[in-house]
Structure 1
Amino acid sequence: MFYSSERELKSNQITINNFYKNTLIKAYLDTPNGQLFYAYAIPDKAKNAIVISSGRLEGLDKYKELLWELYNNNFAIFIADHQGQGRSYRHLLNKHKGHVNQFKDYSADLNLFNTQIVDTHWQGKKVLVSHSMGGAIAFDYLAHFEHNFSGAFLSAPMLDIYTKNTPKPLAKLIASTATLLGQKDNYALGQTDYIPDEFATNVLTSSPVRYELFRQTYQEEPLLQLGGVTYGWLNATFAFITSVDNLSVTIPLYIASAQNDEVVDNNAQYKLANRHVNTVLKSFEGAKHELFFERDKIRQPLLKSLYQFCESVTA
């Protein structure tokens, strides 16, 4: 298998950007509420496909390195920017506000993308790969829609969140009350427009080069920028989190847990793994939240586990 490395990542940017520009097929998918931006590429020798459900703040522009890597390892790749972020449509006049009306809207989009785009271009076996909020979307989708995925790989799935200094019951009450009082489109307390953190204080990754390239991408393309979340998003997310215990998925799951995660609550991942058959959970030592953007020391074992999982469920 080919692994992209931190040491060569900057010198590979021309190659990666050429791949993004010339190999990835990019287009928009019409949905009842707006257009979703998506991309795919199918190598000549592809045996399996990977469909990516990315995290909050993310879009396929951020995933260029991973997409290039997967393509070079002969995976067909499919990815769509979730509604309200990336190059897909945004709900509100202030496009920095992270907002969704209901959490199930995300999984309905994923279903539409899978049936109309993925299944049109790929008839072989496929694995759903996700990160953070994308993992929550993937789990919700798999529980509610008919599908033909062989397995799902969940990186730091958002099955519960940290509410920092606010006790969780109080945060839930505030979000639901604000939504009932017509404040759903307003930023939740403490949330603002996009502000890039310094690397030293970031909670996402311990890889300086990957963090720098992520922020550089968003600096060069301001339309990708996304700020904090609204009360509506928070209320929808809490409703999903409450529903998790009642959802079940029958296909094999692999949960990659980031040991030093400060964004999502890992306890919910263990809880899910314990009640689900056919589920493997591995904690990646020293990892911050964004496992696909971590140091090579963490990222390469993560990708190795992804490839082994793909092989085991598609054999």
Structure 2
Amino acid sequence: MFYSSERDLQSNQLTINNFYTKTLIKAYLETPSGQLFYAYALPDNAHTAIVISAGRLEGLDKYKELLWELYNNNFAVFIADHQGQGRSYRQLKNKHKGHVNQFKDYSADLNLFNKRVVDAHWQGSKVLVSHSMGGAVAFEYLAHFEHNFSGAFFSAPMLDIYTRGIPKPLAKFVASTATQLGFKNTYALGQTDYTADEFALNTLTSSLERYELFRKTYHEEPLLQLGGVTYGWLNATFAFISSMDTLNVSIPLYIASAQNDEIVDNNAHYKLANRHDNAVLESFTGAKHELFFERDEIRKPLLTSLYQFCESVTA
């Protein structure tokens, strides 16, 4: 297997950008509410397709390294920016506000993308790969829609969240009340437009190279920037979290948990794994939230686990 490295990341940027420009096929998918930006690439000797459901703040532009790496390992790759972020449509006048009307809107988009784009270009084995909020979207999608995925790989899935010192029952009450009172499009308390934290203060990754590349990408393409969340997004997310105990997925699941995660609550990962016989959970020591953008010593074992999982569910 080929593994991209931090050491060679800068020197490989020209090659990665050429892949993005010349190999990835990029287009927009029409949905009832707006256009979703998506991309895909099919290597000549592709054996499996990986469909990516990215996290909040994220999109195709941030995943260039991973897509290039997967492609070089003969995986067909498909990715769509979620509504409200990346290059997809945003509902509110302030494009920095992270917002969704109801959480199932995300999974409905994923279903549309899978049917109209993925299945139109690929008829072989497929694995759904997700990160953070994208993991919540993926899980809800798998629980509610008919699909033909062989397995699902979750990186630090957002099955529950930290509320930064505010008791969760109070945070839920405030989000629900604010939404009911007509403030669903208003930033939740403490949320602001996009800001780029210094590396030393970031809670996402311990890889300086990957973090700086992420921030550079968003600095050079301001339309990718996304700020904090609205009360509407928070209320929709809490509603999804409350539904977790009623959702079941029958295909094989792999949950990668980041030991030092400060974004999502890892207890929910163990809870899910304990009630699904088809789920495997692995905790990555020393890892922050963004496992796909971590240091090589964390990221390489994660990707090795992904490749092994793909092989096991598609053999």
Which amino acid is 1:248 matched to?
Answer: N
SS at match of 2:113: helix
| Distance across 2 between alignment mates of 1:164 and 1:102 | 23
The aligned residue for residue 301 of structure 1 is 301
Structure 2 unmatched ranges of 5 or more: none
SS at match of 2:57: coil
The aligned residue for residue 200 of structure 1 is 200
The aligned residue for residue 92 of structure 1 is 92
| Distance across 1 between alignment mates of 2:309 and 2:105 | 28
| C-alpha deviation, 1:165, in angstroms | 1.3
1:257-268 equivalences in 2 (<5 Å): 257-268=257-268
Matched, 1:165 2:165: yes
| C-alpha deviation, 1:266, in angstroms | 0.2
1:97-116 equivalences in 2 (<5 Å): 97-116=97-116
SS at match of 1:9: coil
Structure 1 unmatched ranges of 5 or more: none
SS at match of 2:7: helix
Deviations 1:219-270 (A, max 9, x none): 0000000000000000000000000000000000000000000000000000
| Distance across 1 between alignment mates of 2:262 and 2:86 | 23
The aligned residue for residue 155 of structure 1 is 155
| Distance across 2 between alignment mates of 1:102 and 1:164 | 23
Which amino acid is 1:232 matched to?
Answer: G
SS at match of 2:8: helix
The aligned residue for residue 252 of structure 1 is 252
Size of the aligned set, in residue pairs, is: 315
RMSD (CA atoms)? 0.2
Matched, 1:277 2:245: no
Deviations 1:96-153 (A, max 9, x none): 0000000000000000000000000000000000000000000000000000000000
SS at match of 1:128: strand
SS at match of 1:6: coil
Matched, 1:18 2:18: yes
| C-alpha deviation, 1:299, in angstroms | 0.1
| Distance across 1 between alignment mates of 2:130 and 2:143 | 15
| C-alpha deviation, 1:277, in angstroms | 1.2
Aligned structure 1 segments of 4 or more residues deviating by more than 3 angstroms: none
Matched-pair identity in %: 83
| Distance across 2 between alignment mates of 1:314 and 1:165 | 43
1:39-188 equivalences in 2 (<5 Å): 39-188=39-188
| Distance across 1 between alignment mates of 2:298 and 2:104 | 32
Deviations 1:203-222 (A, max 9, x none): 00000000000000000000
